[in-house]
A and B are shown apart, each in its own frame.
Chain A
Amino acid sequence: MATLSTDVLVIGGGATGASVVWDAALRGLHVVLADRADLVEGTSGRFHGLLHSGGRYVVKDPRAAEECIVENRILREVAADCIEDTGGLFVTTPFDDPAYADRFAQGCRDTGVDCEEVAPAEALRDEPLLNPRISRAFRVPDANIDPWKMVWAMARGAHERSGARILPYHAAVDVHRRGEEVTGARLRDVRTGEELDVEARVTVNATGAWAGKVADMAGIEGVHVIPGRGIMLAMNHRLVDTVVNRCQMPTDGDIIVPIRTVCVIGTTDVHTDDPDDQTVAQEEVDALLDDGERLVPGFRRARALRVWTGVRPLFEDAKEDVRSTRDVTRAHTLLDHAERDGVGGFVTITGGKLTTCRLMAEETVDAVCRHLGESRPCTTTTERLPGSETGEYYHLGERLGRREDNLRNDELMCECELITRGKFEEALRRRGTDNLGDFRRTLRLGMGPCQGGFCIYRATGIMHGIDGMTAEQANEVLLSFLQERWKGVRPILYGDQLRQARLDDWIFQGVLDVGHLKQ
């Protein structure tokens, strides 16, 4: 069996794990990052894309709010290329308690969240589709953040800085214990079945909602993470250009985040026992559509592109009886198992939210350094991510702008997301993957209104043509993408998106007859 030796092994390739890898690499540590699937395939890639100003938490969880605004400012500085500075609004709709607005404004002052009240008419001028009956409106520095771009920038940066090894599709199958010391883990490449032993001075469990399972492997008891399952719904247009929140205690379906070419409404909150539970209940979809109507009248007439489930990792204090996961703190939890369990070389970081991933990583790597007995200062508050060196925010016209430069000499393979063949081939070489889902995340291939209707045949054909893939592999890639996509669209097939789906059927089942490819 192959073996690998490193300073730090990070299990979990979401925003938290990647931030730990980036932070540790900047401190000069050698790191291995492993995830059982693609990076950002779990919770970090399944949220609405909000970079919190903290506004959501100013009344309910002031500590979380304070963390958010501080981290919001830092990420704007170091990860600008992943952020679109949409700004945010909190609006009091006729469905909200009007008294909350004053508590909100006070909460912002108390927690340092920048907040400016504006006249409803001004908010409506900026966002004309908003419910015209709003009575109060506040501007906050919410934004959207692209988790895939950020995590891959961190992974790439960590590799460039200190040779970090990034291992997607490597599941931890065992955590090695030598006496009262965790010494690494055994990984299995889920694509090939090959196993790899990683010997690490410190192992970081950054698996979010799955942290209890990895802690179990290390023989550590009592790490209870309650998965809070929520669904998110992407609409095919930016019905709003600003993040819009209802000005009320945080609840289901009270936020719409414009991100890239779509906007996302979220979310619901259901306690589940299994973090891999991806159920989308019809009632939840119906409820989100109703919530959308309250913020943007006519919401139900817009096209719903896709629905998905994310699980929040909410750490449970075993002493408390928890009924609603929304009542568990949104703040993160760092478990230093040397202190907690007398087991060295092992740290668990869970809970929290994407906005605070950098802070979580800082605290985690501080703990790692304590384990190593070394003092290495954190520099992630000032060190810019690869791609964000200029400090310029991403803006919506960026792809179109780049496209203008090569309009006549590169094929466009995805019209919805403006992906050229050249860009795709470059990603194909860089990722060395044959999973179309990976390109969906990396390039947004198939994320637009047609949900891959046109580009997926093209992508499969290109991969087969240049990658030396067998027909069996190519067919599998195509069929599994179609089935995965079907999961995300089936609960929301109505209106024009059903028409779109039927057109896609026409292509895949009619013109191409892929359902009858020889098995």
Chain B
Amino acid sequence: MRPSLHYDVVVLGAGVAGLTAAAKVAEGGARVCVLAKGVGSTHLAPGTLDVLGYTPERVEVPADALPAFVAGRPDHPYALLGVDAISPALDWFAGRIERGPHPGYRYVGNLKRNLLLPTAVGAARPSALVPETMAGGDLRAERPVCVVGLRPLRDFHASLCAANIARLGVEARAVELRLDMDRSEVNALGLARGFDDPVFRRDFVSRLAPQLDGDERVGMPAVLGLRDPHGAWADLEDRLGRPVFEIPTLPPSVPGIRVFDALHAALRAAGGRLVMGSRVAEGEREGTRVTALRSETAGRETYFGARAVVLATGGFASGALALGSDWVVRETVLDLPVRGVPAPGSPRFGAHYFGEQPMARVGVAVDATLRAEGAENVFVAGAALPGAEPWREGSGEGISLTSGHRAAELVLASDGLAAAA
């Protein structure tokens, strides 16, 4: 294999973990390239940074709950990363959003309290760090809620959302506005483009305002702009004269796309590069080091030389881990050893959908410095790490961000790079 492009660090995967690791490594002065098969977790996730939501009891104060949580789970990514690594990662992230491509857009919250944000079904989801455009939905506040549905958007049903919010003790009702849009535009992305447009917003407000009562706050599907979400949100609050907040919908996630755009911008600002549509087919090794990666992009092969690699390819959802019909788990990109596979004969998945799922905890075997077993210059971050059940814990984004951030620190301090610098 003859590398045609040389980088200090090649990051595999463009989710929160990969983009965070890449941007931070680039900010540290290393030459970085991100190779990604396609867009990933950002476009699916709600766009909040949930650090720890359930243990399985609902967590009110993550800072208080985390030490006991990791003490009981020595194999959990947070135990590996150290609880103290979380806060700096959140700060780093919030900073990148503020410097990002969306003027004025920012995240609010911290580990001292979880916000309880309504989901599109009206459940209260605990999140530590959230877009300002969602924070007004915090259900610990008693202010009544009016949930606004936008027909014919399929992926948000205001009546059910409001009815479940009401069951939580917050007065809530639903109104539905029928939008006069071309059907091809009636999806989260089309609506977001609409809300970027002041004329669209003015029309929308003129139809909604007469239907609002008292001091209701307004909950809407999370489609308030991709280009200028802060401007769109602030404009709606201003025109309606009341708080407005976004509620995440089914994928594609508009707030998640904003996260992707902001982290991508941070990467580029630091001189890093992202190559989309490049599936890594193979890693070349010299002893215990992976020295180059062969990717298949647009029908041809490209070789990327690397001193260090960050594997942030995700878990089963992305295809980075695969369970075969022979019931063997493989790491599909670099064929690294995995950890946590349920023993033969013991259940791979629990009998109850919302119960424990042992297979969800499988990940790439790593040491205390996130290095993959048997590959000393490959650092693992995000959902590829073993030991967590992100959905049940409400911890996925927190793990991705913290491990991506931590991986960058470890990469920058590692021998290969320190020597290069």
Q: Do chains A and B interact in one complex?
A: yes
Nearest CB of chain B from residue A463's CB, rounded to whole Å: 9
A502-519 residues with Cβ-Cβ distance < 8 A to B are 502-503, 505-507, 509-518
Q: Write the A449-470 contact mask toward B (1 if CB under 8 angstroms, else 0).
A: 0000010011011101100001
Given A289-B325, A486-B352, A513-B123: A464 and B391 interface contact (C-beta under 8 Å): no
On chain B, the residues within 8 Å of A300 by CB distance are: 325
Question: Counting CB contacts under 8 A, is A498 at the interface?
Answer: yes
Q: Of A162-170, A322-330, A475-483, which binds chain B?
A: A475-483
Query: In this complex, which of A289, A462, A507, A510 has the most chain B Cβ atoms within 10 angstroms of its Cβ?
Result: A510
Q: Which of B58, B248, B396 contacts A516 (CB 8 A)?
A: B58
Q: Which of B119, B163, B323, B324 contacts A512 (CB 8 A)?
A: B119
Q: Write the B170-210 contact mask toward A (1 if CB under 8 angstroms, else 0).
A: 00000010000001001000000000000000000000000
Are A512 and B123 in touch, CB under 8 angstroms? yes
On chain B, the residues within 8 Å of A304 by CB distance are: 325
Question: Counting CB contacts under 8 A, is A319 at the interface?
Answer: no
Q: Write the A29-45 contact mask toward B (1 if CB under 8 angstroms, else 0).
A: 00000000000000000
B69-128 residues with Cβ-Cβ distance < 8 A to A are 119-125
Question: Counting CB contacts under 8 A, is B168 at the interface?
Answer: yes
Are A482 and B250 in touch, CB under 8 angstroms? no
Q: Write the B367-399 contact mask toward A (1 if CB under 8 angstroms, else 0).
A: 000000000000000000000001110101000
Are A457 and B250 in touch, CB under 8 angstroms? yes
Nearest CB of chain A from residue B308's CB, rounded to whole Å: 28
Nearest CB of chain A from residue B394's CB, rounded to whole Å: 8
Are B391 and A506 in touch, CB under 8 angstroms? yes
Are B322 and A495 in touch, CB under 8 angstroms? yes
Are B316 and A499 in touch, CB under 8 angstroms? yes
Nearest CB of chain B from residue A454's CB, rounded to whole Å: 6
Are B121 and A512 in touch, CB under 8 angstroms? yes
On chain B, the residues within 8 Å of A498 by CB distance are: 316, 322-323, 359
Are B324 and A457 in touch, CB under 8 angstroms? no
Question: Counting CB contacts under 8 A, is A270 at the interface?
Answer: no
Are B325 and A511 in touch, CB under 8 angstroms? no
Nearest CB of chain A from residue B398's CB, rounded to whole Å: 13
Q: Of B21-29, B154-162, B273-281, B285-293, which binds chain A?
A: B154-162
Are B45 and A506 in touch, CB under 8 angstroms? yes
On chain A, the residues within 8 Å of B61 by CB distance are: none
Question: Counting CB contacts under 8 A, is A134 at the interface?
Answer: no
Question: Counting CB contacts under 8 A, is B140 at the interface?
Answer: no
Query: In this complex, which of B121, B186, B250, B359 has the most chain A Cβ atoms within 10 angstroms of its Cβ?
Result: B121
Q: Write the B305-331 contact mask toward A (1 if CB under 8 angstroms, else 0).
A: 000000000011111001111010000
Question: Counting CB contacts under 8 A, is A493 at the interface?
Answer: yes
Query: In this complex, which of A408, A411, A496 has the most chain B Cβ atoms within 10 angstroms of its Cβ?
Result: A411
Are A502 and B44 in touch, CB under 8 angstroms? no
Complex alpha-carbon distance, A301 and B249, angstroms: 32
Given A413-B154, A457-B121, A486-B353: A464 and B44 interface contact (C-beta under 8 Å): no
Are B325 and A495 in touch, CB under 8 angstroms? yes
Are B159 and A495 in touch, CB under 8 angstroms? no
Question: Counting CB contacts under 8 A, is A431 at the interface?
Answer: no
Are B349 and A493 in touch, CB under 8 angstroms? yes
Question: Counting CB contacts under 8 A, is A474 at the interface?
Answer: yes
Q: Label chain B's interface by main secondary structure.
A: loop
On chain B, the residues within 8 Å of A517 by CB distance are: 121-123, 164
Question: Counting CB contacts under 8 A, is A490 at the interface?
Answer: yes
On chain A, the residues within 8 Å of B161 by CB distance are: 461
Are B157 and A516 in touch, CB under 8 angstroms? no
Are A471 and B122 in touch, CB under 8 angstroms? yes
Are B157 and A460 in touch, CB under 8 angstroms? yes
A352-367 residues with Cβ-Cβ distance < 8 A to B are none
A117-145 residues with Cβ-Cβ distance < 8 A to B are none
Are A457 and B45 in touch, CB under 8 angstroms? no
On chain B, the residues within 8 Å of A509 by CB distance are: 354, 391-392
| Interface footprint category on A | 35 or more
Complex alpha-carbon distance, A421 and B186, angstroms: 14
Complex alpha-carbon distance, A510 and B253, angstroms: 12
Given A454-B250, A464-B159, A471-B164: A408 and B45 interface contact (C-beta under 8 Å): no
Question: Counting CB contacts under 8 A, is A308 at the interface?
Answer: no
Question: Counting CB contacts under 8 A, is A494 at the interface?
Answer: yes
Complex alpha-carbon distance, A462 and B159, angstroms: 9
Are A465 and B168 in touch, CB under 8 angstroms? no
Given A458-B154, A493-B349, A494-B324: A503 and B44 interface contact (C-beta under 8 Å): yes
On chain B, the residues within 8 Å of A408 by CB distance are: 183
Complex alpha-carbon distance, A482 and B352, angstroms: 10
Complex alpha-carbon distance, A503 and B391, angstroms: 11
Are A465 and B351 in touch, CB under 8 angstroms? no
On chain A, the residues within 8 Å of B315 by CB distance are: 502
Question: Counting CB contacts under 8 A, is B239 at the interface?
Answer: no
Given A457-B157, A471-B167, A493-B349: A514 and B324 interface contact (C-beta under 8 Å): no
Question: Counting CB contacts under 8 A, is B136 at the interface?
Answer: no
Q: Write the B246-260 contact mask toward A (1 if CB under 8 angstroms, else 0).
A: 001111010000000
Are A502 and B316 in touch, CB under 8 angstroms? yes
Are B396 and A510 in touch, CB under 8 angstroms? yes
Nearest CB of chain B from residue A512's CB, rounded to whole Å: 5
Complex alpha-carbon distance, A464 and B183, angstroms: 23
Q: Which of A485, A486, A511 contacts B46 (CB 8 A)?
A: A511
Are B319 and A499 in touch, CB under 8 angstroms? yes
Nearest CB of chain A from residue B378's CB, rounded to whole Å: 23
Nearest CB of chain A from residue B135's CB, rounded to whole Å: 17
Q: Which of A412, A413, A513 contacts B125 (CB 8 A)?
A: A513
Beta-carbon nearest neighbor of A463 in chain B: B160
Nearest CB of chain A from residue B253's CB, rounded to whole Å: 7
Question: Counting CB contacts under 8 A, is B54 at the interface?
Answer: yes
A-B contact pairs, 18 of them (CB 8 A): A407-B183, A411-B183, A413-B154, A458-B155, A460-B157, A461-B161, A478-B121, A494-B325, A495-B322, A498-B322, A498-B323, A506-B251, A509-B391, A511-B250, A512-B119, A512-B121, A515-B353, A515-B392
**Apart from A471-B163, A493-B348, what 20 extra A-B contacts exist at CB < 8 Å?**
A457-B155, A457-B250, A461-B121, A461-B161, A462-B157, A465-B158, A471-B164, A471-B166, A495-B322, A495-B324, A498-B322, A498-B359, A505-B391, A509-B392, A510-B391, A510-B396, A511-B249, A513-B124, A515-B354, A518-B167
